[in-house]
Amino acid sequence: MSDTAASAPVAIADHGAVRTITVNRPDKLNALNAATLDALHQAFDDAAADDAVRCVVLTGAGSKAFVAGADISEMNTLTPVQGRDFSLRGQRLMRRIEKMPKPVVAMINGFALGGGLELAMGCHLRIAGDNAKLGQPEVNLGLIPGFGGTQRLLRLAGRAATLELCLVGTPVDAARARELGIVNQVVPAAELEAETMKLATRLAESAPLALRGVLDCVNVGGECAIEEGLEYETAQFGLMFSTDDMREGTGAFLERRKPAFNGR
- Respond yes or no: is residue 118 known to be catalytic: yes
Q: Smaller CB distance to ligand COA: residue 141 or 156?
A: 141
Task: Give me the least distance between CB of 195 and ligand COA, in Å please.
Answer: 24
Residue 138 Cβ, how far from ligand COA at the closest point, in Å? 5
Helix axes 115-122, 149-163, angle to 10 degrees: 110
Q: What is the DSSP string of 125-158?
A: EEEEETT-EEE--GGGGT----SSHHHHHHHHHH
Classify residue 141 as exposed, middle or buried by CB count within 10 Å of its CB (0-12, 13-18, 19+). Answer: middle
Reduce the DSSP state of residue 3 to 3 states and report it.
Answer: coil
Rounded to the nearest whole angstrom, what is the least distance from the CB of residue 114 to ligand COA in the complex? 3
Residue 67 or 180: which CB sits closer to ligand COA? Answer: 67
Binding site for ligand COA (CB under 6 A): 28-29, 31, 68-73, 111, 113-115, 137-138, 141, 143
Catalytic one among 118, 179, 195, 255?
Answer: 118
Closer CB to ligand COA, 71 or 98, in the complex: 71
Q: Supply the minimum distance, in Å, between the C-beta of residue 117 and ligand COA.
A: 9
Beta bridge partners of 104: 56
Catalytic position from the list 138, 193, 223, 233: 138
Residues 245 and 208: beta-carbon distance below 8 Å? yes
Q: Among the residues of 165-243, which ranges form H helices? A: 174-179, 192-205, 208-221, 226-240
Active site residues: 118, 138
